[in-house]
Structure 1
């Protein structure tokens, strides 16, 4: 198993390098990622290339048995390029050109930038593409991160118009799709179509969604540009990946992933200014999303947090046990390699307060010792654990286009797509069901339940899959605002929930958007939620059952007694519709009934405890148990049988005590 660090030799005196490598060997590092921000050193002036610094660093590392991942340096074009070729710079929605001075200061639509990209990637590939100790390549760094996913300049506008022409073929078709008759927006020439810069009110929803699609396709094409050059020159033994950030950017990671050997991910459970880490369910959801991006294929974590992070503001200091816990969580959910960010905190530059395994003084202390403990453990059982299989029983729908549609029209100041997706995911996470993220392209075979949160922008292919899945005996969970939009971002003319009405067995004639601070209540009237009450926030669909039975009704509103949650028999399957945002405790109770009926395996544990089971060879099982609480220890009931600690060999049966931030791997 590869376990390593992100290293920036260019940021330290060469006299320090041998000590860094000595400490890396003591730690157990067997791979480092380097060079992703090194363009100025590689090409100090146009057409002049110098790889001597990286040659020295690579020689020192590889002589000590450490393998190399090389990053193409295109996330940081050098100052001379921005000065001589300002057309490479991106433009924001106000028409302001983004200045040189940070990173990601380019637009992928710049022909000039594409030309320079081809040159530097080709030079790197020719230089290191057959190096026996360079095991792989990372293209660029965190595509689209920090609002660099959208650019609104003149070159972007011309590329957008060409993209639209290719998509629609005629202006008549575009005008029809967008409904440009509204507000006299009809276009009579492609050149009239703008990029969505700032306007007095809001742009046409169809234009906005297509612009996001265009931006995503531009990044997919830009990544392929790099991949094609690398494939031409590198060894078949070297892989190509990219380290994604999954934050609903105008990117289609699944499309980009088709050109990669596997995907990678940057895992930051806490960041600058946050008083505490994000919820464990949110971290788990990100890992599930990574695993599903390339149809269940394992992924790498190329940046795993190892210290307090931040630029001008510093985030929460990870407690003792956090590094191990977040590492184990990643591997349990599909990570096949872990690379920690960063080896040592920088003394200068924007990331001075992104702390690493070593802090600014370069001396090994608590974090170093914790990472060493993790490395030693993974040397014992890491390869065997990574080789096991993760078998999901519950799929949770995520389509980035649906997220874009919600960003364009959130409809309530209490709504964020990310939070509502997490709301419906968390119910399954709290029951320790084996979850996966599914998309329109995903197969639903083998899943016992499919949860489809806030399915606002429908996808005809996925809708038909859902109908067949339910008809064949699957269980579907829909939520409020399902079936509202067609793929062109226009509202359906079919009574809501549109194409899903027969599936859900309901109609929605009216609804209420609740803003921050507003709420009503729902009361369960059947099953495990009988007589249980929850606040109802964000949205209230007023449901009229057609063939569905009622499970919960609204309280405290003029629509008191109106159905809020229903269950419908569809073919051999069951379809639930949750018409409002309910609290976790209520949703967990509802999910208990849904999962029991569907045959989903659940494990009841304290809220802070996560348990992931993976199947090994010859019937063996690997059980990862994680206590995310920083203060409370928990007694945890293990699944039936005798379990052995993979590290110590100690055996357990029945209950075990898990200390705060405790994590271990058990084998059966």
Structure 2
């Protein structure tokens, strides 16, 4: 198993390198990622390449038994390149060109930038492609991050028009699919079509969704340009990856992953300005997305937080135990390698307050010792753990296009796509039911329950899969505002929930968008919801049951007594519809009943305790910083993989404790 660090030798005097490498060896580090921001050093002026600094650093690392992952440096085009070709710079939605001075300062549609990319990536590949201790390559760095996923310049506009002509063939087809008769927007020449810069009101939602698709395709093509250059010049056993950030940007990770051997991910449970980490379920869902991007294949965490992070603002200081806990959580959910960000906090530059395993003084302290504890704890069983199978019992739908459609038209000031997605993921995480992230490409075979939250942009391929899945005995759970939009971002002409009407056994003839501060009330009337109450926020679908039974009703406004949650038999299966944003207590009670009826295994724990089973291994993590926990273990005898202590029946966990058990 690889456990390593992100290292920036160019930021330190060369006289410091030997001490760094010695400390890495003592720690147990066996891999580093380097060079992803080193373009200026590798090509100090156009056409003159100099890899000597990295040659020396790689020699020192590899002579000491440390393998290397190289990053291509294209996220930071050098100043000389921008001076010569300022047209490479991206343009924001106000038409203002973004300046040189940070990173990701290029438009992915620049043909000139493509040519310079080919040159630097090819030169790197030719220089390092046969090195025996360079095991892999990371393309660029965090595509689309920091709002770099969209650019609105002249070259972007021309590329967008060409993309549209290829997609639609004729302007008549485009005008029909965008509904351009509205507000006299009909196009009679491809050159008339804008990129969606600022307008006085709002752009055509169909144009906006296609622009997101175009931006995603452009990044996929750009990544393929890099992987093609690499594969032509490197050994077959050097892997290719990219470190994704899953934040609903105009990036299609699933398309891009087809050109990669592994998916990587940058895991920051807390960042500058945050008073505390994001919820454990939010982190877990990111890991599920990462694993699902290559259809269940293991992945790398290429940047795992190891210290307080931030640029102009510094975030929460990870407490003792957090590094181990977040590492165990990542491995539990499919990570095959952990690379901590960063080795040492920098003395200069934008990230000088991004703290690492070592702080600014370079002296090993608490965090160094905690990482050593993690590495030592994985020596005996780490490889077997990552090789064990993760078997999900439930699937949660996530589609980037659905996220884009929501971000174009959130319809309520209280709506957040990420927040509402997590609302419907968190109860499964709380009940410790193993989950996968799925989309229209995924097979639904083997899952006991499929959750389809906020299915706004209905996908005909996935809907047909859901129908077959339910007909054959599966359980499907929809949430409010499902089945509203067609793939071209038109509203369906059918009574809601559109194509889902027969499956759900309901119709929705009216609905209400609740704004921030507004709420209704829901009373449970049947099953596990009987007697329970919840606030209803964000949205209220007024459900008319046709064949469905009512599980909960609204208790306020003119629609008091109207169905809010329903359950319908469909074929051999069951389909639920949740018409509003329920509170966690009621939603968890409903999920528990759903899982029990579907035959999914539940491991009930107190709040903040996460348990993940992978074949004979069981990992348990207490995310609470101040509450100890006791877990009733599933039947069997277990061994603590770190201490070889035998455990049966109950397991006690201190705050922020994490443990790996193996069933005898």
- TM-score bin (small chain): over 0.9
Give the structure 2 partner of residue 610 of structure 1.
610
Paired with 2:441 and 2:461, the residues of 1 have a C-alpha distance of: 8
Q: Deviations over 1:244-288 (max 9, x none)?
A: 000000000000000000100000000000000000000000000
User: TM-score scaled by structure 2?
Assistant: 1.00
1:630 aligns with 2:625: yes
Give the structure 2 partner of residue 416 of structure 1.
416
Give the structure 2 partner of residue 275 of structure 1.
275
Residue 344 (structure 1) shift: 0.1
Give the structure 2 partner of residue 489 of structure 1.
489
SS at match of 1:58: helix
- Gap runs ≥5 in structure 1: 616-620
Q: Deviations over 1:186-216 (max 9, x none)?
A: 0000000000000000000000000000000
Give the structure 2 partner of residue 553 of structure 1.
553
Residue 556 (structure 1) shift: 1.7
1:655 aligns with 2:650: yes
Q: Report 1:388-399 matches (<5 A).
A: 388-399=388-399
SS at match of 2:575: strand
Q: Deviations over 1:140-199 (max 9, x none)?
A: 000000000000000000000000000000000000000000000000000000000000
Residue 138 (structure 1) shift: 0.2
1:664 aligns with 2:659: yes
Give the structure 1 partner of residue 519 of structure 2.
519
Residue 528 (structure 1) shift: 1.0
Give the structure 2 partner of residue 225 of structure 1.
225
Q: Report 1:26-175 matches (<5 A).
A: 26-175=26-175
Give the structure 1 partner of residue 451 of structure 2.
451
Give the structure 2 partner of residue 537 of structure 1.
537
Paired with 2:532 and 2:377, the residues of 1 have a C-alpha distance of: 45
Residue 657 (structure 1) shift: 1.1
SS at match of 2:103: coil
Q: Deviations over 1:558-596 (max 9, x none)?
A: 100000000000000000000000001110000111111
Paired with 1:333 and 1:581, the residues of 2 have a C-alpha distance of: 27
Paired with 2:472 and 2:167, the residues of 1 have a C-alpha distance of: 35
Give the structure 1 partner of residue 474 of structure 2.
474
SS at match of 2:586: helix
Give the structure 2 partner of residue 507 of structure 1.
507
Q: Report 1:353-432 matches (<5 A).
A: 353-432=353-432
Residue 655 (structure 1) shift: 1.0
SS at match of 2:255: helix
SS at match of 2:643: coil
Paired with 1:419 and 1:607, the residues of 2 have a C-alpha distance of: 19
SS at match of 2:547: coil
Give the structure 2 partner of residue 618 of structure 1.
none
Residue 600 (structure 1) shift: 0.8
SS at match of 1:496: coil
1:639 aligns with 2:634: yes
SS at match of 2:33: strand
Paired with 1:353 and 1:30, the residues of 2 have a C-alpha distance of: 26
Q: Report 1:523-602 matches (<5 A).
A: 523-602=523-602
Give the structure 2 partner of residue 239 of structure 1.
239
Paired with 2:573 and 2:606, the residues of 1 have a C-alpha distance of: 31
Paired with 1:638 and 1:593, the residues of 2 have a C-alpha distance of: 21
SS at match of 1:437: strand
Give the structure 2 partner of residue 327 of structure 1.
327
Paired with 1:585 and 1:430, the residues of 2 have a C-alpha distance of: 11
Residue 448 (structure 1) shift: 0.5
SS at match of 1:271: coil
Paired with 1:312 and 1:572, the residues of 2 have a C-alpha distance of: 56
Residue 490 (structure 1) shift: 0.3
Paired with 1:321 and 1:556, the residues of 2 have a C-alpha distance of: 46
Paired with 1:320 and 1:550, the residues of 2 have a C-alpha distance of: 48
Paired with 2:378 and 2:4, the residues of 1 have a C-alpha distance of: 12
Residue 557 (structure 1) shift: 1.4
Q: Deviations over 1:56-108 (max 9, x none)?
A: 00000001010000000000000111111001000000000000000000011
Paired with 1:35 and 1:141, the residues of 2 have a C-alpha distance of: 11
SS at match of 2:96: coil
SS at match of 1:575: strand
RMSD: 0.4
Paired with 2:514 and 2:216, the residues of 1 have a C-alpha distance of: 32
SS at match of 1:16: helix
Give the structure 2 partner of residue 184 of structure 1.
184
Paired with 1:480 and 1:395, the residues of 2 have a C-alpha distance of: 18
Q: Deviations over 1:207-241 (max 9, x none)?
A: 00000000000000000000001000000110000
Residue 513 (structure 1) shift: 0.2
Residue 381 (structure 1) shift: 1.2
Paired with 1:11 and 1:528, the residues of 2 have a C-alpha distance of: 59
1:296 aligns with 2:288: no
SS at match of 2:484: coil
Q: Deviations over 1:527-550 (max 9, x none)?
A: 111010000000000000010000
Give the structure 1 partner of residue 257 of structure 2.
257
SS at match of 1:233: coil
Residue 423 (structure 1) shift: 0.3
Paired with 1:215 and 1:378, the residues of 2 have a C-alpha distance of: 41
Task: Tell me which stretches of 4 or more aligned residues in structure 1 moved more than 3 Å.
Answer: none
